[in-house]
Amino acid sequence: MRVWTVANQKGGVGKTTTVVSLGGLCAQRGHRTLLVDLDPHGSLSSYFGLDPEAVKPGLYELFRNDGAMDPDMLRETGVDDLMLLPASTALATLDRQLGTRKGMGLILRRALDALHGQFERVLLDCPPMLGVLMVNALAASQRVVIPVQTEFLAVKGLERMTRTLSMIQQSRGHEQPHVIVPTLYDPRTRASVETLSLLRDDYPDSLWDDVIPEDTLFREASKQAMPLTVLRPWARGSQAYRRLLTYIEAAGDDDRYAKVMGNDAAI
């Protein structure tokens, strides 16, 4: 089982779109895939027609029950081999309720361990703020995908995110591979072109050397509650996500069970 976190401490950069698109592709490639909505706004859950105000049981109940998995938490998405563990708005209260309890950072990881064998790919859709949910996602995953909108303000959010990553890596005592993915790229705008060249200068090692283009079909696909990559495999945006998935798969991931380090218990 490979677990990837999609995170950036900024909203509107394409995190949820990346989770849906890559998830759809993984499922199409025949991998049993689980998408997990960790954002209290529940945009990923809404994408597939669930109401984050009402959905139950979901990730909130999982945390309240110390990671005990209830099969009812796993919902169909309408795409074969693609399941969803939804978020509810109640998740917003978790930090206050449980944030300082010991062992809180590993709840998701333990829950996913219990699903080993049931899923081959797991994608975690993070909220745009650092808190107990993002810490759980980072602790549970082997790889981090950081979408960055190619516009001037986005670089600030990226700096925050990479600082968070190195902080967590220090406490874990080992590196977590990550890839920065330029999104919403429009070559006709100065903002896109200049931001991309800035990213290339500042993050030469972790920047994916390709882009996810701006493609209005993503919004169309969300209206139909389907990943664009499934609905229109030949759309420009779908092709770009296919290249991204090929890149991530080729990078490979160690078996997560070989990776458990003593320091992880400190999270």
12 versus 233: smaller Cβ distance to ligand ADP: 12
CB 238 within 8 A of CB 21: yes
User: How far apart, in whole angstroms, are the C-alpha atoms of residue 20 and residue 227?
Assistant: 6
- Interface with ligand ADP, residue 218, by CB under 6 A: yes
CB 208 within 8 A of CB 250: no
Q: Which of residues 8-37 bind ligand ADP (CB under 6 A)?
A: 11-17
What is the maximal distance between C-alpha atoms in the chain? 50
At closest approach, how far in Å is the CB of 7 from ligand ADP? 9
**How many residues of this chain interact with ligand ADP, rule: CB under 6 A?**
17
* Contact range with ligand ADP by CB under 6 A, out of 5-13, 48-56, 73-81, 191-199: 5-13
At closest approach, how far in Å is the CB of 128 from ligand ADP? 6
| Beta bridge partner(s), residue 185 | 213
- Binding-residue pattern over the window 32 to 71 for ligand ADP, x denoting contact by CB under 6 A: -----------x----------------------------
- Interface with ligand ADP, residue 212, by CB under 6 A: yes
Torsion on CA atoms 220, 20, 136, 76, rounded to nearest 10: 100
- Indicate the burial class of 21 (C-beta count within 10 angstroms; 0-12, 13-18, 19 or more): buried
69 versus 108: smaller Cβ distance to Mg ion: 108
User: How far apart, in whole angstroms, are the C-alpha atoms of residue 31 and residue 24?
Assistant: 10
User: How far apart, in whole angstroms, are the C-alpha atoms of residue 202 and residue 210?
Assistant: 16
- Interface with ligand ADP, residue 184, by CB under 6 A: yes
- Interface with Mg ion, residue 10, by CB under 5 A: no
- Interface with Mg ion, residue 43, by CB under 5 A: yes
- Interface with Mg ion, residue 21, by CB under 5 A: no
At closest approach, how far in Å is the CB of 8 from ligand ADP? 6
At closest approach, how far in Å is the CB of 244 from ligand ADP? 11
Could you give the 3-state DSSP secondary structure of residue 252?
A: coil
**How many residues of this chain interact with Mg ion, rule: CB under 5 A?**
3
Q: CA neighbours within 13 Å on the CB side: how many for 7?
A: 31
At closest approach, how far in Å is the CB of 218 from ligand ADP? 4
Where are the extended beta strands (E) located within the chain? Answer: 2-6, 33-37, 75-76, 82-85, 121-125, 143-149, 178-183
15 versus 121: smaller Cβ distance to Mg ion: 15
- Interface with ligand ADP, residue 215, by CB under 6 A: yes
